[in-house]
Chain A
Amino acid sequence: MIPEIGQFALILALSLAICQTVFPLVGAHRNDVAMMGVGRTAATGQFVFVGIAFACLTYAFVADDFSVLYVANHSQLALPTLYKVSAVWGAHEGSLLLWIFIITAWTVAVSRFSSGLPEAFAARVIGVLGFLSVGFLLFALLTSNPFDRLIPAAADGGDLNPLLQDPGLAIHPPLLYIGYVGFSVAFAFAIAAMISGDLDQRWAKWTRPWTTVAWMFLTLGIALGSWWAYYELGWGGWWFWDAVENASFMPWLIGTALIHSLAVTEKRGLFKSWTLLLAITAFSLSLLGTFLVRSGIIVSVHAFATDPTRGFFILTFLAVVVIGALLLYAWRAPSLDSDVGFGLLSRETFLLLNNVLLVVATALVLIGTLAPLVIEMATGGKISIGPPWFNVAFLVPTIPLIILLGLGMHTAWRSQDKTPWTRMLRLPAIAALVLGVVIPLFIYGRISVLLVVGCAAAAWIVVMSLIHPIRSLLREKGTAGITRSVLGMSVAHLGMGFFVLGVTIVSAFGIESDRALRPGETIEVAGYEFEMRELRNVEGPNFSAIEAEIEIRKGGDFVATLRPQKRQYLVQKNWMTEAGIRAGLDKDLFVALGDQLGNGGWSVRIQYKPMIRFIWLGALIMALGGLIAITDKRYRSKVRKTATADAAAAEATA
């Protein structure tokens, strides 16, 4: 019964989504306020019904309703309740439902906080979001219904993939999807502006906080995925240039470009058509990412079981959205560009370069991701592009990007006077170079060109990011402090600096070693002694495991005891590695059990990962920067106005 309610709620949501698309768009065209008003109501209704469907599916999981095919395939009686809930989005059908739920939530948020917008514009935004929602609801109902029944019901389920039974992965997809789907708001704003043919600086001001929020979630989602891959997959790497990782990274890169381009459009009314194009691209790449994951067309650790109809549907939808948006763009964009100039040495130039480099970086990732597909179609040869290629190719645009980043932050809009600028830069540049040599040489005792470049670049960004906040702290009383916008920017860039430092150090000094180890035996890796004290059996709720106790010492001094496990899950009979990790800001020590070697010993993978935490810490700080930036006064005043308007409206209706 409950699953049928969910199914019915989804169908109702689809009807509401159609209303939410048609009425506001037509209403805005005819300037009919009543019709435009339908959009908000329909959006709220859709949110409620998709929420009901989502609750029904969650209930089916928690109540172990194995007469629902999706539940029977992806859950099991002994599964802990937390993972029964997260199993809802553990596979294709449910993750699609989550996706739809998030897009309706974004739509409701937009309709809530949009009373500061012109009515017709808000109506168009809601209409476009409704259209996207129609597409995904159709996708769910036609190809991937999560409520399909299994008759007769199974006695027990097939269990959730053990890899997904992890708290990190329980929240990774929702964060990532909030980010992915969030770019649909920027997309809808862009389409709405192009339909109305009216794009001024206010447009950029409205779009910016939405884009920043989406970007924040995407940043957190990607970082969490990377962290999870590190500790759960047992390979010890933090990024594999896997097709699906790339699929989430490309929208992030373009989203980052979009945030910067929006700054120029808001402050100076420039780059309008470029900003529109980025907004369209960011969302299109999100859709492309979905297509890559769903279709199974690309070999990936993330690929769900392949289904050509699903791939075809998404590809068609992608084509409709992208071609439609680009046609509209070709028609409208030429009339939007303004006649404002800027000097060669100005923040505009640096932000332009930022955009060019980020787009080049995205193009490289896209080429590397799609090349195996293209080459196979052209020559029939099956190739793969290895991470080394990505590592090298990606450095080409990012090294100049990092250097320019430090400069751009401290360059004035419009035109910058050269003399004070070069004078101000001298000290930070010297400091960065000195640190670039000192960090690798004196802390880690080795030096190379790439190391100096990496460490100097990281130090450069960190120093440059601290200038604004420090000046603000040292300012004389009574003078204006730093705005939240500038503080947010500084913090986000500081995070970037930490990230670059982490990547540089761990790439250069990380050590990985596969060794044989027996109870009572000690081996040495990276200057640490690893002693296997004992092996024992451990029972979990739905798995049994062999656990090793490994004591780590350095020069005889105790450092840590790690307890890596090899688990066997009882239903799927899969073996899973749970690594033992001693985490620290300066370094991680990582031990994973491999295979039994027959003499009572095990093969173990031991890793020494200096400063790897800075990678995720950096990403967290970047997201924090975004959070600070959206609390800037000028957005708050808008919200406050919205709140007052809401109150006034409530009073009027009361």
Chain B
Amino acid sequence: MKPRQQRMLAVGLAALGIAIAAGLTLRAFQDNMMFFVEVSDVVAGEYPKERNFRIGGLVVGGSIEREEGSIDVRFDVTDTACTIPVAYSGVLPDLFREGQGVVAHGRMGGDNVFQADKILAKHDEEYMAPEVAESLSKHQKDIVKAVAAGAAECNSNDS
């Protein structure tokens, strides 16, 4: 091949490769993008209905319940304004604790319980997922009180 042809071949292949990559990326993004939804918005019913999404907030103190001997666990997550119950079946991460930030992947069940298929708690105690931190600071309620009691008066319009 002459250098000119080589260059054409290289450019052509690269363009083709990038086009395929771009096409696949966009297509697959649709299915794999997972939105972060604030707890208040979930309570207000503003969440993707037929697909998974992420929620985040603080685990309400005293809300962790489990049936003795079962790996099913339920707890409440609050963004200091609103609170929703979360159900999960499986091993919880090491840093999962009352009052700590947590992120859950899953979807809403019919009984208004968030059915989580994955629970994330960060490895560093000081570190909180940025979206959770932002969600908490937006509502600016008393964090200590919210963690202790859950958000009592949830007005879904305030978000």
Check B3 for interface membership: any CB of A closer than 8 A.
Answer: yes
Q: A352 CA to B5 CA in the complex, in Å?
A: 13
Total A-B Cβ pairs within 8 A: 134
Minimum CB–CB distance for A232 against chain B, Å: 10
- A301 and B91 in contact, given A364-B25, A597-B69, A599-B68 (Cβ under 8 angstroms): no
Check B122 for interface membership: any CB of A closer than 8 A.
Answer: yes
Check A340 for interface membership: any CB of B closer than 8 A.
Answer: yes
The residue that A337 contacts in the complex, of B3, B35, B54, B70, with Cβ under 8 A, is B3
Q: Could you tell me if A383 and B35 are in contact, using CB atoms closer than 8 angstroms? A: yes
Q: A451 CA to B95 CA in the complex, in Å?
A: 37
Q: A349 CA to B91 CA in the complex, in Å?
A: 50
Main secondary structure, interface of A, reads mixed
Q: Could you tell me if A603 and B25 are in contact, using CB atoms closer than 8 angstroms? A: no
Check B109 for interface membership: any CB of A closer than 8 A.
Answer: no
Minimum CB–CB distance for B118 against chain A, Å: 10
Q: Could you tell me if B36 and A382 are in contact, using CB atoms closer than 8 angstroms? A: yes
A518 to B, closest residue via Cβ: B69
Which of B16-24, B138-146, B147-155 lies on the face that meets chain A? B16-24
Q: Could you tell me if B68 and A597 are in contact, using CB atoms closer than 8 angstroms? A: yes
Check B90 for interface membership: any CB of A closer than 8 A.
Answer: yes
Check A4 for interface membership: any CB of B closer than 8 A.
Answer: no
B1-36 contact mask (Cβ, 8 Å, vs A): 1 or 0: 111011001100110011011001100110111111
A511-530 contact mask (Cβ, 8 Å, vs B): 1 or 0: 00011101000000000000
Q: Could you tell me if B124 and A598 are in contact, using CB atoms closer than 8 angstroms? A: no
- A574 and B95 in contact, given A382-B36, A392-B28 (Cβ under 8 angstroms): yes
Total count of chain B residues near the partner, CB < 8 A = 45
A284-315 contact mask (Cβ, 8 Å, vs B): 1 or 0: 00000000000010010101011000000000
Q: Could you tell me if B21 and A514 are in contact, using CB atoms closer than 8 angstroms? A: no
Check A161 for interface membership: any CB of B closer than 8 A.
Answer: yes
- A301 and B94 in contact, given A352-B9, A598-B66 (Cβ under 8 angstroms): no
The residue that B28 contacts in the complex, of A274, A344, A393, with Cβ under 8 A, is A393
Could you say which residues of chain B place their CB within 8 Å of the CB of A392? 24, 28
Q: Could you tell me if B131 and A382 are in contact, using CB atoms closer than 8 angstroms? A: yes
Total count of chain A residues near the partner, CB < 8 A = 63
Q: Which of B95-128 contact A (CB under 8 A)?
A: 95, 122-127
Q: Could you tell me if B32 and A388 are in contact, using CB atoms closer than 8 angstroms? A: yes
The residue that B17 contacts in the complex, of A341, A356, A383, with Cβ under 8 A, is A356
A303 to B, closest residue via Cβ: B127
Q: A321 CA to B124 CA in the complex, in Å?
A: 32
Minimum CB–CB distance for B121 against chain A, Å: 10
Could you say which residues of chain B place their CB within 8 Å of the CB of A375? 33
Could you say which residues of chain B place their CB within 8 Å of the CB of A339? 3
Check A601 for interface membership: any CB of B closer than 8 A.
Answer: yes
Q: A578 CA to B45 CA in the complex, in Å?
A: 40
Check A399 for interface membership: any CB of B closer than 8 A.
Answer: no
Q: Could you tell me if B18 and A360 are in contact, using CB atoms closer than 8 angstroms? A: yes
The residue that A161 contacts in the complex, of B21, B89, B124, with Cβ under 8 A, is B124
Q: A28 CA to B132 CA in the complex, in Å?
A: 54
Q: Could you tell me if B3 and A301 are in contact, using CB atoms closer than 8 angstroms? A: no
Q: Could you tell me if A576 and B94 are in contact, using CB atoms closer than 8 angstroms? A: yes
Q: Could you tell me if B14 and A574 are in contact, using CB atoms closer than 8 angstroms? A: no
Q: Could you tell me if A393 and B25 are in contact, using CB atoms closer than 8 angstroms? A: yes
Minimum CB–CB distance for B1 against chain A, Å: 5
Minimum CB–CB distance for B64 against chain A, Å: 10
The residue that A299 contacts in the complex, of B3, B29, B130, with Cβ under 8 A, is B130
Q: Which of A594-639 contact B (CB under 8 A)?
A: 594-595, 597-599, 601, 603-605
Q: A381 CA to B20 CA in the complex, in Å?
A: 26
Could you say which residues of chain B place their CB within 8 Å of the CB of A363? 18, 21
A250-289 contact mask (Cβ, 8 Å, vs B): 1 or 0: 0000000000000000000010001000000000000000
Q: A594 CA to B1 CA in the complex, in Å?
A: 62
Could you say which residues of chain B place their CB within 8 Å of the CB of A597? 66, 68-71
A335-346 contact mask (Cβ, 8 Å, vs B): 1 or 0: 001111111100
Check A69 for interface membership: any CB of B closer than 8 A.
Answer: no
Check A439 for interface membership: any CB of B closer than 8 A.
Answer: no
Q: A594 CA to B32 CA in the complex, in Å?
A: 28
A592 to B, closest residue via Cβ: B91
Could you say which residues of chain B place their CB within 8 Å of the CB of A357? 17
Q: Could you tell me if B71 and A341 are in contact, using CB atoms closer than 8 angstroms? A: no
Q: Could you tell me if A396 and B71 are in contact, using CB atoms closer than 8 angstroms? A: no
Q: Which of A370-422 contact B (CB under 8 A)?
A: 371, 375, 381-386, 388-389, 392-393, 396-397
- List 10 tightest A-B contacts by C-beta distance, closest first: A594-B91, A389-B32, A382-B36, A514-B90, A599-B69, A360-B17, A603-B71, A598-B68, A605-B91, A383-B33
Chosen A-B contacts, 27 in total, with CB atoms closer than 8 Å, are: A161-B123, A305-B124, A337-B3, A338-B3, A339-B3, A340-B3, A341-B2, A342-B6, A352-B9, A359-B14, A363-B18, A363-B21, A382-B131, A383-B34, A384-B33, A385-B29, A385-B32, A385-B33, A389-B32, A393-B21, A393-B28, A516-B70, A597-B68, A597-B69, A598-B66, A598-B69, A601-B69
Beyond A352-B13, A599-B69, 16 extra complex contacts between A and B, CB < 8 Å: A161-B123, A270-B6, A301-B123, A341-B5, A343-B1, A344-B1, A360-B18, A383-B36, A388-B31, A388-B32, A389-B29, A393-B28, A397-B21, A514-B89, A574-B125, A601-B69
Chain A residues in the interface with B (C-beta under 8 A): 161, 163, 234, 270, 274, 296, 299, 301, 303, 305-306, 337-344, 349, 352-353, 356-357, 359-360, 363-364, 367-368, 371, 375, 381-386, 388-389, 392-393, 396-397, 514-516, 518, 572, 574-577, 592, 594-595, 597-599, 601, 603-605
